[in-house]
Amino acid sequence: MAIDFSLTDEQKMILDTVRKFKEKECPKEKVAEWDNAGVDFPSELWKKLGDIGVLGLGFPEKYGGTPGGMLDEALIAEELSYGFNDLALGYLLGVSFGGYSILHQGNDEQKEKYLPPLIRGETNFALGLTEPGGGLDILNALKTKAREDGDHFIINGTKIFTTGMHVADTIVLVVRTDDVPGRPTRGLTIFLVDKKTPGITYNKLEKLGSHTMATYEVSYEDVKVHKSQILGERGKGWYQILGTLNNERIIVAAECCGIARCAFDEALQYAKEREAFGKPIGQHMAIQHYLAEMATEIETARLLTYKAAWLVDTAKTNEELMAAGGTATMCKYWASDVGQRVTDKGMRILAGYGFMMEYHMQRYFRNIRQLIFAPITNEMAKNIIGQMMLGLGKSY
């Protein structure tokens, strides 16, 4: 079996482009300023990402895209997340939830309408899925319904934890259009809904981290949408959602790797410069052990994430793609846990300075927390690993 861990020249060029973009447009000092002030995600950054071609990777050239695969997306997400993980969250929402869902499930008219402006950075998406009191139990908790009305549907209900409404133009909205007794997986339908449609109201939710990529509770009251806004097939929405899970979990894992790498690099630099008891603290055994553990865990998280992406890229059958799903779930669980441990150790190494808002470590410590339970909790991820990869049967 041939194994090659080197990046292609194209991948190196993409990562170099992203690094230079961040140094110019959103250095860590500027990100800290936005985060502390609670400023919304600067939408002009999204347009500039489109200008440098990052948003088009993996989309057909006829829509303005360039060739690429899951591994390329993971590399981009990791680099975007290094120092500014909200930028990677925007990438997840726009490219993965929005763009790739439309690419694989949309009709020609929808692709022509949405993909070129997304690739140019002129539009973005939000995902309307989770509901109050529901969490991961989507099938049983989903109460938002769409009633058929001629050539339209009328939507009523409430969604919570809808991230990025302030930068989105279109909501990828999951609702129930049909009740099929005993078959909750059937009857869900996905709509592409203009955020400005009458009847949509949303309220910002205060949260611990990711302040520039705000999260909202969204209400839908008699929202009228045309049947042409259905993405994919009516009643098949659940199966379409499942088709996005591999990408979602790999992108989130890559984001966690980016946060962890940034926290580690800053902790390492601090350990080299800060002196105590006559020498840099990095020469003290306890600090060296922390840093060695951090470096090792980051390396394992990145390797697992890249393997999951490679499995998706090389899958030739549905069975192979399903098998890749187990590894994708593994990397999401492991990378987010690693991110939590790394940022925690980073706080310990910086000690009092890590607790100060002028240092970035506290932001990494806060931001990684949501990725432990979103978009899937690590406990549920372990259940899925037990079911899919270990043959232990369904536990939920």
Domain presence at residue 193 = yes
pLDDT, position 244: 87
Q: Read off the pLDDT of each residue in 218-222 and give the average, rounded to a whole number.
A: 98
pLDDT band at 323 (very low <50, low <70, confident <90, very high): confident
Same domain, 68 and 191: no
Is the pLDDT assigned to residue 149 strictly greater than 70? yes
In a domain, 395, yes or no: no
User: Do 246 and 225 share a domain, yes or no?
Assistant: no
Same domain, 190 and 265: no
Max CA pair span of the chain: 79
Question: Mean pLDDT for the chain?
Answer: 95
d(CA 119, CA 174): 23
Same domain for 118 and 131?
no
Q: Is residue 384 part of a domain?
A: yes
Residue 369's φ and ψ, nearest 5 degrees, are -60, -40
Banded pLDDT at 1 (limits 50, 70, 90) = low
**At which residue do the structure tokens 């009458």 appear?**
198
What's the rounded mean pLDDT across residues 212-234?
A: 97
Is the pLDDT score of 286 beyond 80? yes
Instruction: Enter the tokens of residue 362.
Output: 């506290």
Whether residue 14 is contained in a domain is answered as yes
**224/244 same-domain check:** no
pLDDT of the residue at 25: 96
User: What digits encode the pLDDT tens for the residues 115-140?
Assistant: 999 999 999 999 999 999 777 777 88
Domain enclosing residue 92, as ranges: 9-124
What the block records as the tokens of 168 is 């989105």
Q: Does the residue 187 lie in any domain?
A: yes
Higher pLDDT: 125 or 43? It is: 125
Cβ atoms 170, 193 nearer than 8 A: yes
Number of structural domains the chain divides into: 3
Same domain, 244 and 369: yes
Residue 310 and residue 374 in one domain: yes
Q: Are residues 158 and 26 in the same domain?
A: no
